[in-house]
A = this chain, B = another copy of it.
Amino acid sequence: MRQIQVINSLAAAGHKISVYGFEKCGEDYFHPAVNRCCCVSAAIEVAEIVILPLPYTTNGTNINAPFCDEELTPESMIATVQKGKQLFVGKVDERIKKLCDAHEIRCVDYFDREELAVRNSIPTAEGAIAVAMKETPFTLHGSNCLCLGFGRIGKVLAKMLHGIGANVSVAARKPSDMSWINAYGYTPLHIGKLDGEIVKYDVIFNTVPHQVLDFNLLSKLKKDVLVIDLASKPGGVAFDTARQLGIKVNWELSLPGRVAPATAGKIISDTILSIIDSLEGG
């Protein structure tokens, strides 16, 4: 759904779009200007820019195309892209990089943009709040919430929790982050000195991608706490220990696409459009 949103936004912005791999979608899913091609080479040969879905693969082999009848590898697809054209991929890896180098195609990672990451922190934070509301028998208003980390997600999440009426604490390390946390009206905590404080929290959101909630801290949590881990692998929680201690942990990855696919698609299409604009501008 997010992918279709991207396609339609680009078409609506006046770009000529050819798509392949959506055989199973009805006509009415697409903007009328979208050109549906029956084979991948037909779609690719007319294009200046080829855009792969996000993530480009889900099984590690083929291109992620749930609405497609055919299976297609990045290798065979990229082989049909002509030299000098551009390939837009989210989360470029070594495999894609090498393929692009080999075929002299310019590779642009649209997911590696600061403004996209900032905007994605909004659906991530809302998704985390929706999970917290669903999984707790109390209101967030008036509850004690702790955010571990004050990066993009921590900033947006803390603001929203505060806006709902939670008592918000944020744990960070840098003195300037402490000053910011205080400036925004939350309680600053040093992430290395949580021992004595952590028992009072009803919901803990982790955004730090290494193990903050180790055995020591987990063993000090309030019974019935909810831990929501938003960090990418390996996550920030000693999951096995948590399970043994009977602590409820929800590890929530890729929230934007799951909880707000329309918004997530809009963020990607806006970013792609802005990259195209700057290419044309240059």
Which positions in A face B, CB cutoff 8 Å? 1, 113-119, 121-123, 126-127, 129-130, 133-134, 136-142, 155-156, 159-160, 162-165, 174-176, 178-180, 182-185, 259-263, 266, 274
Across the interface, A134 reaches (CB within 8 A) one of B114, B123, B130, namely: B130
Q: Do B260 and A137 have beta carbons less than 8 Å apart?
A: yes
So how many copies of this chain end up in the complex? 4
- Show 29 A/B contacts (Cβ-Cβ < 8 Å), sorted by A: A114-B176, A115-B174, A116-B179, A118-B176, A118-B179, A118-B180, A118-B183, A121-B183, A122-B139, A122-B165, A122-B183, A126-B133, A126-B139, A126-B141, A127-B133, A133-B259, A136-B260, A136-B262, A137-B260, A138-B260, A141-B160, A142-B263, A155-B183, A156-B183, A159-B184, A163-B164, A163-B165, A165-B183, A175-B274
Chain B contacts of A175 at CB under 8 A? 113-115, 274
A281 to chain B, nearest CB (A): 13
Chain B contacts of A138 at CB under 8 A? 260, 262-263, 266
